[in-house]
Structure 1
Amino acid sequence: MPRKVQYSREMIIEAAINMVREHGPDCINARDLGEYMGCSSRPLFTAFRNMEELLTAVREEVSRRFAERVRIARDTQSPEPAAKRMGMCIVQFAQDEPNLYKLIHWTGNKLTPFPELSQIMTKQYQTDYQLSDDDAVAFFDHMMIFNLGLCSLITNGVRNFTREEVETILRDQFSATIAYYKSGKHHIEEKQPLSGATPQSPQTSPKTSGNTPPCDAL
């Protein structure tokens, strides 16, 4: 008769999340997690094949919760633009849960891909600002690079920002970036040759209107 499992996958994942929340994303190992749960490491490997599988499950669960927070922020009825609500939600998560933010955005020294967040936000950018598929993805990447820098300052304790400061910073960056993409200038710059190549003549460069289309500021 198989031995009864006293610790489910869900219980172990929740304990690991709490441990990361308290001690940081690099704290998880089998011995310490077992001690944190009040057991040996054996139950961990009854529920999971190895630590890599466990850590993957932990990241996936935190990522799911994070994406759900952003989705709720997007869908909340408010006079504020959805883009502002989503941007503020991301920064708020970094302020509230700095260690969990690090866990899902960084693996070692590498940036962790986040397709769920990209899907949520690019769709909203297309709806609100009439961006093409490619432009919405590029705009998302542009803003995420900026947000990662801002959130890194927060999660590493370099600087604390008030809500008003975050709103101003995000509004200014968002407004400048969306105006740039709506103007079409990025398509011209994408066609510029790499250093050392022969520049295109002005006649072959795409033309855009000198007026930047109006856009909703955050």
Structure 2
Amino acid sequence: MDLNALLADIAASPWVPLVVLLVCVLDGFFPPVPSETTVVAALAATVATGDPLQVSVIAVAAASGAVAGDSIAYGLGRRIGLERFAWMRRPAVRRVADWTRARVHRSPAVLILAGRYVPVGRVAVNATAGASRLAYRRFLPLSSVAAIAWALVCLAVATVSATWFGDPLWASLAAVAVMLVLGVVLDAIGRRRLSPAAPARRPAPPLTTGRAPAP
């Protein structure tokens, strides 16, 4: 079986943009869905086959799905809040939610644009934006800019991989590998950035012997 020919046929399928769209929507409120790897794999295979129209359709589907998924997370946060379920009331989760809530009105652009690259972080930021009653008319433009920038990053990774390796199979594998490494790095940075610092411990009082001080 010629895997390259098979991947070329799959990349040209009209179902690919729909799959990318659905995966990106789900990833917006359910982080285990691997949207980044799906998008870059589809884009890399399509770029390698030389179909610019299909590449454009997939990129638009990725950005549109990301906006829709972010809006669902926003709506869930606005409707059910951040304390409905027991796991939301855990101290670590509450600290992150409080940290994000305190900043989402002051610097929503930074949180939404940066959070888009952290799978768990973007769900937390978008849900907190909804729960904190950030106006949707402010949220939607920022979410759209973040989604378009994210889709362009995926396209850039896919294009470099396709140009370097030339065939759909290796281009897809290379693009997925790069995106996984990038995701791990950004996730680590995002977790550190979104996690509030632990409160400083108060120094222990000096030990005393119970004797009165010498005159």
Instruction: Tell me the TM-score normalised to structure 1 length.
Output: 0.39
Q: Which has the higher contact order (CA 8 A, sep 6+)?
A: 2
Greater share of helix residues, 1 or 2?
2
TM-score (norm 2): 0.39
